[in-house]
Amino acid sequence: MERLFGKKRNVRQLLIGSGGALCIAVLFCAPIRAQNKSTVTECAGQVLTVRFQVDCSHVADPATKALCPVFAQNQACKVFPAYQQITGIHLQDWCSTVQYIIYDKDKWSMSGAPSGAGGYTVGCRTQYMADYSLLLKSEIGPYDVHEILHDYQIALGGLPYTHILFGPSMAEATRLIGDSERYAALMKDGQRDMGRIKDQLERGAVAPDTECLDAELTTEFSLYLKDPNNVRQFYLVLTHDGEMQTRDPQSRFDQMYDKVSGGTARPYLLQHGCRFF
């Protein structure tokens, strides 16, 4: 549930106002209609370096399908510039178009996504279940800060873990686009998970093959809590330090954490099986 002027309203009530108008804040309004595809190529009169396309032809409910242009607008005009600012990565270097294909839950098997996944991204093309995209509960309307991050991380080369840096990156993107309620929830969940994992590490209750990864994840979130600007430093170091590009993925990331921390991360990472060579 979301709050709007002190009253609880669900996501459709929040987005769909009286008289059949679809409104986000006071900036974007359009008539409700069953629009299968939406494309955004500019924001506030500025042509984008990446085109955003959202295909909702696999969504049956007209009210849900009417959220398709809102989702496209949020991705192009809010999430895209937020991640450009966070990562410093030029997405246009490998994604001329970022495409989303949205499915109803009962049609999800058509997507070919791995079992158990609610979203799946390969080569600037994301397939998403409507429950996790169009129907995301938010005061600014539906958006995605998860799957699009896979597109940005192409620039990082080899990764020690598919979702490395996702915790602080998604939290910061959510903060920048103005979804304060979800940001607070992400921070609360992140701190809870970090405390749980640190406790398991201290008790030796973590499998040896995941110990370093758990230490890396708690390190990156701790550094983000210390200074939100550190998430920008993660990407800056990884993409601009030529020497780091020659190291194996885990070593590169451990060196990066240590550099961003000013040397304080090394003892903790070494203690938990990480390597720096």
Of the ranges 43-47, 145-149, 199-203, 273-277, which one carries the lowest mean pLDDT score? 273-277
Let me know: does 100 contact 76? Beta carbons within 8 Å: no
Residue 5 in any domain: the answer is no
Question: Are 47 and 129 within one domain?
Answer: yes
Q: What is the pLDDT of residue 215?
A: 96
Name the E strands within the chain.
2-4, 7-9, 21-24, 28-31, 37-43, 46-58, 97-103, 119-122, 125-129
Question: Are 55 and 151 within one domain?
Answer: yes
pLDDT in tens, 211-226: 999 999 999 999 999 9
Question: Are 173 and 96 within one domain?
Answer: no
Residue 79 DSSP class = I
Q: What is the pLDDT of residue 34?
A: 52
β pairing state of 28-31 and 21-24: antiparallel
Let me know: does 172 contact 86? Beta carbons within 8 Å: yes
User: Any bridge partners for residue 119, and if so which?
Assistant: 128
Gap between the Cα atoms of 82 and 79, Å rounded: 5
Residue 18 in any domain: the answer is no
Question: Are 80 and 138 within one domain?
Answer: yes
Q: What is the pLDDT of residue 243?
A: 66
Q: What is the pLDDT of residue 27?
A: 38
Whether 18 shows a pLDDT value over 50: the answer reads no
Residue 66 in any domain: the answer is yes
Q: What is the pLDDT of residue 245?
A: 62
Question: Are 42 and 129 within one domain?
Answer: yes
Residue 26 in any domain: the answer is no
Element (H, E) at 215: helix 208-226
Q: How many residues does the chain have?
A: 277
Residue 95: how many other CB atoms lie within 10 Å: 20
Q: How many domains does the chain have?
A: 2
Interhelix angle 166-176/230-240, rounded to 10 degrees, is 120
Question: Are 191 and 250 within one domain?
Answer: yes
Indicate the residue type of 172: E
How sure is the predictor about 267, in pLDDT bands with cuts at 50, 70 and 90?
A: very high
pLDDT in tens, 44-78: 999 999 999 999 999 999 999 999 999 999 999 99
Give the residue-averaged pLDDT of 243-270: 89
Q: Which of 192, 154, 187 is nearest to 173 (CA)?
A: 187
pLDDT in tens, 159-199: 999 999 999 999 999 999 999 999 999 999 999 999 999 99
Residue 267 in any domain: the answer is yes
DSSP, residue by residue, 81-115: HHHHHHH---GGGT-SEEEEEEE-GGGGGGG-PPT
Element (H, E) at 247: none
Residue 101: how many other CB atoms lie within 10 Å: 18
Let me know: does 68 contact 24? Beta carbons within 8 Å: no
Question: Are 148 and 226 within one domain?
Answer: no
pLDDT in tens, 74-130: 999 999 999 999 999 999 999 999 999 999 999 999 888 888 889 999 999 999 999
Q: What is the pLDDT of residue 113?
A: 84
Domain termination site, one of 156, 178, 194: 156
Residue 76 DSSP class = I
Gap between the Cα atoms of 50 and 148, Å rounded: 12
Residue 4 in any domain: the answer is no
Q: What is the pLDDT of residue 248?
A: 86
Q: What is the pLDDT of residue 4?
A: 24
Domain membership of residue 243 as a residue range: 166-271
Indicate the residue type of 118: G
